[in-house]
Each structure stands twice: as structure tokens, then as C-alpha cells.
Amino acid sequence: MISFLPLGGAGEIGASCFYLNIDGTGIILDCGMHPLKTGMDALPKFDLIKDFPVDYVLISHAHQDHLSALPFLVQRHPYIIIISTPQTRALAELTLHNSVSILKEQLSEVKQKDAHSVQLKIYSHEEIDLLIQSIEYRAYGENTILKGYNHQGKTPIVATLIDAGHILGSAAILLEYNGKKILYSGDIKLSNQAIAKGSKIPSLSIDTLILETTYGNTDSTLIPKWNDEAQRLALATNRILISGGSVLIPVFSLGKMQEMLAVVWNLMLSGKILMTDIYTGGIASKIGRVYDYNRYVVNRIDPEFELSAIPVKNLYDVAQAEDFFKNPSIILASSGMMVEGTASFKLAKHWLKHKGSAIFTVGFMEESTPGFRIAKAKQGEKIRLTDFSEENEVKCEINNFRFPSHASREELLEIVNSIRPKKVILVHGNQESIDWIGGAILVNFKKTKIFQAELGKEILIEKMEQNYSSYK
Ligand SMILES: [Zn+2]
């Protein structure tokens, strides 16, 4: 008997966490934290499995919404076996240590408002060290036998990690049991980025596909080809730099930072962008080194390319934000959605005041974030970055670019087409995204049953009936 229970990341991009009970072996796929929530609300609903077997957690990649609740899961289940790629393990060490102090700060604010969050026990750097040491790492394609304490089946489960092409170390997770295969996509991308090569999902006959739907509601004609978009970025950037302005590019520190640094540097080397100072900060340089160490062991566009060879300056060495405007420069700062309190949010406030400078967005913006407000703003308009902040006049140029690290909706259907699963469970996307993918599978793959994952709703995979019938 195989049951599936979403603990988070159903019907939204949030705390991805899915529980599978395979004949008594409890396997958790991902253990993320909601990036825009705080306290208990940001965590997966671990209470739902308090009476169930919990033996393994497999982490698809090191992004916050797939990894960061892991220390809280380990507090509850100290004997759980954690499995990831070696690259995800190395990145997790950096990002989880980095989040210790951020969480402490966040929680002290939350606790004042919400007594409920007191239940949340903050973890220490020592606990993270122990957690990282305990991660069992597996290379892409290596088989791992999973057999829980209460496993009732005659045969064990075999798990394999497959390169997902999303960020360094990202993996789709394949579970095989009694001749049936379950594939969890994690976050996946089929086409190439600047550093990462796209995923090649082997054409296996899959029984159940658990599929992300991030770009389901995005019209792909609005997403130019990566190289065309790089040329457009070059033209726009050069225009600003030549006239003496500076360009702020908000990015996520893991993945997007490294890809955009590679894009900008390659454009500089080819003479398409003026050679100017590039600033980055935070844990970007440490993450860059992990990318570099692994350049020969994972799929790369150019294994010789090294991020640490790019001459970058540390943005935290600049005494005042206004100093960035003394000379033309390019600043890559996190967070990608300019969340309040982050470096990109603070810098954006200064950028808005400077007429000859520009903010160029390069990724997805959640509607509730300051990044979304800035991305939509027109020059000359007055905007509030948050509901409670003062109005800012938008004097700088705003331009939006697309360098996605997720599959387009056509690529998601290509995955369905190549493996022809009997059942698809749709996760990691908003309702519109799920509707587009669900609708398209319904029309094009008539033998595939479609199931929209619902938080806290357990289903038996063998008996799964389609709960998705048409566009809602
Ligand atoms: Zn991701």
C-alpha cells in the first residue's frame, strides 16, 4: 500500500513537503520553509504525521522552500535518515548556518505578536553541524535501498537521484517499489541556463509523477530564449552604464546569483557590456566556491568556467549606498523579491531616487512582495514598497527580464509526454498554474489520471481517482 500526504507546497509555492508511506516505510520528499511566512506558519504541517512511521527524508535541492525546515523535522524525528546529493549537502551547510541568525531575529519579532510561535524551538550552529554530518549523500544515478523500521513489504524500496537542471545539486527523486515507479520532479528545468545544463529525464515507464507547476500560468511566448534575453539585458545595461548610472539586479543568493553573475561576466568578456565594477554580497562568494568545486562532477555548459575567477567587489565594503552612484557599476544583491529588510530592498530605496540608474528584475515576483510592486512600477509614479512604508517616487528606470530556472509549461508537458505516467499529482504552483497544466494533460494525455495535491489530504496511490476534471 502506498499513500501520499502533502504537508506543505500543495496549491502554492511554499513549504514543499510530501509524505509517502510505502508499506510501512515513511519517506518525506523535501522539507521546505515558506519564504514569505514566519514562525510555525512557515513550517510544513509535521503534526499530520505524528502517529505515522517516519524513516527517511530525501531533499531535492537546497532552496529554502525545499530544505530549510529540515532542522525542525530532525528535532521531532532525531533518527530520521537524510539523503541528498553531495552538492545539496554542501549548499545546505552554508544556507542553514546562514539562517540561524536570521531566524532568531525573525522569531523574536514574531513571538511578541504571536504566542503560538513560542512552540518553535530555534536550533543552534552545533545542531546544524550534526545535521549536515548525518546527511547521507548520493551521486546522481546511484541506487539507495530504503527499508523502514516497520517495513512490511517483501522487497525494499530503491531510490535514485536524477539531475534536475534547476540549481547546483538539484535532483528529481525516483522511487521504485514492487515494479512500480514514482518520480518526484522537485524543481526542474529542461533547457540550459548559463551555468547549469538542462535536465534529461530518462524515458522510464512511470506509474506516478509528482510534478511541480511553477510556470503553469506563464505564457511561454513572454519568456524569450535565454541568449536573446541576455542580449536585451546587455543593451539595457550598457545604456545605463554609458550615461554614468548604476544597475541593481535583485537575485536569490543561491542559483540565480551564480547564473546572473555568469551572464553579466560573459557579456563583459564579449564586449557587450562595459567593463565596470560588479558587486555581490552575503553568502554568494561561499556558494560560488561550492559551484566551482563541483564543476567537473556535475553537468555544466562549460566545466572550465569558474565563478571565483570573476573580479567582484563586496557590496558590504561600501560605506554608504549613495557611493554606488559615484561610478557606473552593477550590483547583484539578494533577496530576489526585494523582501523587506534584505540588502536588495534597502538598496532599491536608494535606486528609486536616481534618475540615470536602473533596477532590472530577472526572476519571479510573488504578488505580496516589494519586488512585485517595483517590477510593475513606471518611471515617474509614486509607489509604496510595503503597505506601511512612505511613498517613493520612481525616478530610476525599471525593466523586467526573464531568466527562468524552472521548466516552461511546455517543458512540463514534455516531461509528461516522455514518461507517460498513469497518474500525475500536481504540486508547487498556484491554482492558475495547476489549472493550465491539469487542463492540458486532460486534453492531451487521456489515459493519465490527474490529481491536484491538497494540504493534509491523504490519498492511496493505487486507488487514486482523478480529482481534477476541468478548468475551475
Ligand atoms: Zn528551487
Tally of structural domains, the chain: 2
Contact 25, 138 (CB under 8 A): no
CA dihedral sign of residues 238, 240, 246, 248: negative
Q: Are residues 335 and 430 in the same domain?
A: no
Query: Is 104 among the domain residues?
Result: yes
What's the whole-number average pLDDT of the chain? 93
**Residues 22 and 60 grouped into a single domain:** yes
Q: Give the span between the Cα atoms of 61 and 458, in whole angstroms.
A: 24
pLDDT tens figures, 101-114: 777 777 776 666 66
DSSP helix/strand/coil, 324: helix
Measured from the Cβ of residue 184, the count of other Cβ atoms closer than 10 Å reads 26
pLDDT for the residue numbered 210: 97
Mean pLDDT of 364-369: 88
- Show the cell assigned to 111: 513571538
Amino acid (one-letter) located at 321: A
Of 36-40, 432-436, 467-471, which gets the smallest average pLDDT?
467-471
Instruction: Verify that 127 and 23 share a domain, yes or no.
Output: yes
Q: Which one is predicted more confidently, 40 or 182?
A: 182
User: What is the per-residue pLDDT for 367?
Assistant: 87
Q: Does 105 fall in a domain?
A: yes
Examine residue 471 and state whether it is found in any structural domain, yes or no: no
Ligand 1 ion: Cβ-proximal residues, 5 Å cutoff: 63, 187
377 and 445 together in one domain: no
Q: How far is the CA of 242 from the centre of ligand 1 (A)?
A: 35
C-alpha cell at 162: 536524477
In what helix (H) or strand (E) does residue 459 lie, and over which residues does it extend?
Answer: strand 459-460
Q: How confident is the model at residue 23 (pLDDT cuts 50, 70, 90)?
A: very high
| Centroid of ligand 1 to alpha carbon of 381 (angstroms) | 33
CA–centroid distance, residue 34 to ligand 1 (Å): 12
Give the residue from 400, 419, 447 where a domain finishes: 400
**360 in the same domain as 243:** yes
The residue from 367, 400, 433 where one domain ends is 400
Does some domain include residue 469? no
Distance 166 CA to ligand 1 centre (A): 7
Work out the percent of the chain whose per-residue pLDDT is above 90. Answer: 84
CATH number at residue 394: 3.40.50.10890
Convert the pLDDT of each residue in 291-337 to its tens digit: 999 999 999 999 999 999 999 999 999 999 999 999 999 999 999 99
What's the 99 CA to ligand 1 centre distance in angstroms? 17
Distance CA 31, CA 424 (A): 21
* Cα 223 from Cα 22, distance rounded (Å): 39
Q: 216 is written with which cell numbers?
A: 503553469
Residue 163 belongs to domain with CATH number: 3.60.15.10
Q: How confident is the model at residue 471 (pLDDT cuts 50, 70, 90)?
A: very low
Q: 67 CA to middle of ligand 1, Å?
A: 10
| Cell numbers standing for residue 314 | 563586496
Q: How many angstroms separate the alpha carbon of residue 333 from the centre of ligand 1?
A: 18
Among residues 400, 421, 449, the one where a domain terminates is 400
Q: Do 247 and 353 reside in the same domain of the chain?
A: yes
User: How close is the Cα of 241 to the center of ligand 1, in Å?
Assistant: 31
439: which strand partners?
none
Assigned domain for 467 exists: no
328 shares a domain with 432: no
Round to whole Å and give the CA distance between 422 and 210: 11
Residue 472 lies in a domain: no
Closest C-alpha among 310, 316, 258, 313 to residue 284: 258
Predicted pLDDT at 119: 66
Q: Is residue 465 part of a domain?
A: no
Report the pLDDT value the prediction gives residue 115, as an integer from 0 to 100: 57
What is the CA(64)–ligand 1 centre distance, in A? 8
User: Ligand 1 centroid to 405 CA: how many Å?
Assistant: 8
Indicate whether 208 and 294 sit together in one domain.
no
Q: Are residues 248 and 378 in the same domain?
A: yes
- The mean per-residue pLDDT over the stretch 64-91 comes to 97
Check whether residue 247 and residue 193 sit in a common domain. Answer: no
Residue 247 C-alpha to ligand 1 middle, in angstroms?
25
Decide: 352 and 338 in contact? Cβ < 8 Å.
Answer: no
What does the buried/exposed string (b/e) look like for 67-95 if buried means 16 or more CB atoms within 10 Å of the residue's CB? bbbbbbbbeebeebbbbbbbbbbbbbbbb
Query: How far out from the chain centre does Cα 233 lie?
Result: 23
Between the CA of 357 and the centroid of ligand 1 the distance, in Å, is 30
Domain hosting 269: range is 224-400
Phi, psi of 76 (to 5 degrees): -80, -35
Cα of 33 vs centre of ligand 1, distance in Å, is 12
Is there a single domain that holds both residue 89 and residue 166? yes
Per the listing, cell 505564457 goes with: 219
For residue 293, is it within any domain? Answer: yes
Q: Which amino acid is at 104?
A: K
Residues 66, 187, single domain; the answer is yes
Residue 187 alpha carbon to ligand 1 centre in Å: 5
Does pTM surpass 0.85? yes
